[in-house]
Amino acid sequence: MRSDIPDNDKIKVRLFANLRELVGEREITITVPGGVTVSYLNNEILNKYPQLKSFSNKFVTSVNCKVTTDDTVITSSDEIALLPPVSGG
Amino acid sequence: MIPLLLLVMKLLFCRQSAGDEFLIRVTTNHLSLQEVMRELEDDSAGALSIFMGNVRNRGRYGNVSEIYYEAYSEMAEEKMREIENEAQTKWAIKKLVAIHRIGNLKVGETSIIIGVSSEHRNEAFEACKYIINNVKTRVPIWKKEITDESQKWTDGILLE
């Protein structure tokens, strides 16, 4: 195996509220090259689910229950979720 | 071995145990004021402050029949714990309860109870207000207003 070709990671992403309804799934799986960032993952999600594109600035991404930045590197062992604006209480 | 270690780390990231004086929960069960009062009992507490949030019949999109609440429960409980730890550092709190109900709630039903006991009233009032204000803006919970004409997710605040 060539070491310069990264293995693919299957990233599971949890969806909530309007995002869950738009996609019709509570959890989706996105295949990405190993070592990618949140920004790369989000672009892949928007390509696979274009119905989310108009909401691209209306959600944040959490990794292991923490809201994270676009340049955070992710792996398949991370718990990732897309979180629309909150309105509890 | 490594996958097992990663799983344990993930569980640790998402779930930390609360202290005995803190009851924090996201639940589908009806909320009980009596249960909260029992949790807050403390002979050294002279003050007890409780906030209850109920579903009201008038919403942003018309006459509400019910509200559907959804949560990212693991993260919600972690964020509620974070907020309550902040409150504990600001005020001398004896005991503290925060329970948020999710699922379909009808008009008049209680969606959230925050309870704080402290030696004197000011700490209980202030801590209770701090906790509910921060739960509404920092915890991943969403609500959908259901009226006769529509079902709409309520606009909210983007988490930071």
In chain B, what are the domain boundaries?
A: 15-153
A58 SS3 class: coil
Q: What is the pTM (predicted TM-score) of this model?
A: 0.89
From the CA of B97, how many Å to the nearest CA of chain A?
A: 14
pLDDT tens-digit profile of B7-50?
A: 444 444 444 444 456 789 999 999 999 999 999 999 999 999 99
Q: Which residues contact A14 (CB under 8 A, 6 or more apart)?
A: A26, A27, A79, A80, A81, A82, B72
Q: What is the ipTM for the molecules in this complex? A: 0.92
Residue of B nearest to A77 (CA): B6
Domains of chain A: 8-83 (3.10.20.30)
Residue of A nearest to B110 (CA): A89
From the CA of B95, how many Å to the nearest CA of chain A?
A: 20
Tokens for B5, please give them.
Answer: 């270690």
pLDDT tens-digit profile of A12-71?
A: 999 999 999 999 999 999 999 999 999 999 999 999 999 999 999 999 999 999 999 999
Chain B CB within 8 Å of residue A89 CB: yes
**CATH number among 3.20.20.140, 3.90.1170.40, 3.40.50.720, 1.10.10.10, domain B15-153:** 3.90.1170.40
Q: Do the Cβ atoms of A16 and B100 come within 8 Å?
A: no
For tokens 């942003």, name the residue.
B60
